[in-house]
A and B are shown apart, each in its own frame.
Chain A
C-alpha cells in the first residue's frame, strides 16, 4: 500500500488561524490604559490542506513565524482554529482534546514535561497514571524504553543534573510511554551536539519504522529532515509552498546544480557558457553552478570534457539547507 492509499492519521482542510494583537501607541498614560490601543489581526495560517498517512514521517518546516507551531498546536488540540477542519486519528483535536491526548505524544524541544528536580523515572511513573496505563503494561513499556533509549544509567538521576542530550532522550521516552499512534516533534534536536542529534534521530527513526508511529516533525535542522522524513511540507507565510518527497525536494526543487572538476592542468581562464557561473576556480580545481532551466547538465558536461582534460568530475545538488533557504526566500524552484 502506498502512502497515498494508507489510512490517514491526519487530515486538514482549509485550516486558518487568525491572532489578534492590541497595538498601543501614544503617550505613556494612553499606553498604560487597558481601554486604549488598536486591535490588529495577524493571519498565521491561510487555509492549509494536508493529509498524512498512518506510519508516515513528515517534516513540516518553514521559517520563523510561518505557522508551523501554530499548526502543531491546533493538531494537538491546544489552539482552536479560526476556520477550517482537522482530524487527527479520526478526532477533532480542539473538541476531543482529552480523548486525543491518550493517542498522541508530543515533544516540544524548548519546553520540558519532565520534573526538573526529580529523576525522569518519577515523571514516567506520573505519566503512567495520567495515561491510565495498566501496571504490568507500564512496567514492560518502561523497561523496553529504558533499554532502547539507553537511559538506564541516568533514569534515576535528577533531570536538572542531566546533559541536554540525556534530557532529550528522557523527554522522547516519556512521550512514547503510552505508545502513541502519532508523535508531534517540535524542534527535538535544538541545541544538541552532533553526536546527541544523531542518537535522537536514531530513536525517532526506530519509533517510526519499527513501531509504526506516525511522525510529524518541525525542525530548522536540515539533518533532521533528511534523515528522518520521507516527505517534506514547506509552509511559508501561513501557506504550503512545497509538498513532496524529501528526495524530490533535494533533487528537483532547485534548478541549480553544482559541477566540481579536478583538471589535469591548472586553469587560467574560463570561457563563459550560457547558464553557467564560476563559483570557484583555483589551481587545478574548478567549481561551476549550472542553471538547468537554461542549459542541460549533459550539454555543460560535454562541453567541459571537450575543453579540458578532466581527472575527476562530480555533479552535486546544493545542500538541503540551501534549497530550503531559497524556497523560504521565495526564490528559484
Chain B
C-alpha cells in the first residue's frame, strides 16, 4: 500500500510539473491535426476507390479516422522512457534514484503514466476535434469511459516496459539507439500504428496475432472505436498477462544490470 502511495505521489508531481507547460504541450500536439488531415484525404480517396461508404477491413471511414486518433494518442503520449533510463545509467543520475526508498522502475513508471495521462488527454481533445470536424462523431458510450481509461493505463504500462527493457540494456551496451530503432519500428509496423492489422495479408495477420505488439496499439485502439465489454475483458486479461511477463523480464534485467553499474567518478 505504501509503495502504491509513493507511486501515486510521483505520478501526481509529474502531472503538476508538466501542467506548468500545458500550452507548450498543446502547441506540440497540433502536429497531430496535420497528420490526421493528410490521412483523412488519403483514406477518403481509398474508400472512394473501394466503392463509397462501405467498410474496409471492418472499419468505416469514420471509424478509420477515429482509429488513427486512438493510435496517435497511444504512441504520441508516451515519453521516450528508454532514453531517460539510458541517460540516467550513463551519466550517473541513477544515483539520485537509487538512494531513495523507492523502486527504480516504479519511479519511472509513475513518471511515464503521469505525463502520459496529461498528454493523452490533450491528444484525445485535439485529435477528437479535428476528427469530429472532418468526418463527424464516432459511436461512443459514456459507460465505456472508465474501462477505456483502464485500458489506456494497461496499454501505457505495456509500452512502458517495452521501452524500459530497451533502456535497461544500457547497463551492458554503450548505445541503445540501434535496438530501440529496430524494436520500435517493428512495434509500429506490426502493432497497427498506421493501419489496422486487419488490412495485413492473412498469413501476416496470423503471425502478428502471436506477437505482443497488437496488444500495445491495435487492440486498444480498435476497442476505443467499437467498444464491447466482451472484447474489453479479453483484451484486459491478455494485457495483464503481457504486463506481468514484461515486468518479470524487466526485474531480471534490472537486478542483474544494477549489480554491474559502472558509474565511475562524481
Residues of chain A having any CB pair with chain B under 8 Å: 19-20, 22, 34, 42, 44, 64-65, 68-70, 73, 76-80, 97-99, 101-102, 104, 106, 108, 110-113, 115-118, 122-123, 125-127, 129-132, 158, 186-187, 218
Contacts and interface: CB of A to CB of B under 8 A. Distances in A.
B10 A126 contact: yes
A101 B264 contact: no
Contacts of A113: 96, 100
A80 B259 contact: yes
Contact of B265 (A22, A69, A126): A69
A106 B101 contact: no
20 contacts: A22-B174, A34-B173, A42-B264, A64-B265, A69-B266, A73-B95, A73-B263, A97-B98, A101-B99, A111-B95, A111-B96, A113-B96, A113-B100, A116-B17, A117-B20, A125-B13, A127-B100, A129-B5, A129-B6, A218-B266
A101 B97 CA distance: 11
A20 B93 CA distance: 20
B92 interface: yes
A291 to B, nearest CB: 35
Interface string B129-164: 000000000000000000000000000000000000
A79 B261 CA distance: 6
Nearest to B262: A19
Contact of A117 (B21, B174, B263, B264): B21
Contact of A115 (B13, B101, B264): B13
A130 B174 CA distance: 31
Given A102-B101, A130-B100, A78 B94 contact: yes
Given A106-B95, A117-B17, 12 more contacts: A20-B262, A69-B266, A78-B94, A78-B95, A78-B99, A80-B258, A101-B101, A116-B17, A118-B17, A122-B13, A126-B10, A127-B100
Interface string B187-212: 00000000000000000000000000
Nearest to A103: B101
B230 interface: no
Nearest to A97: B98
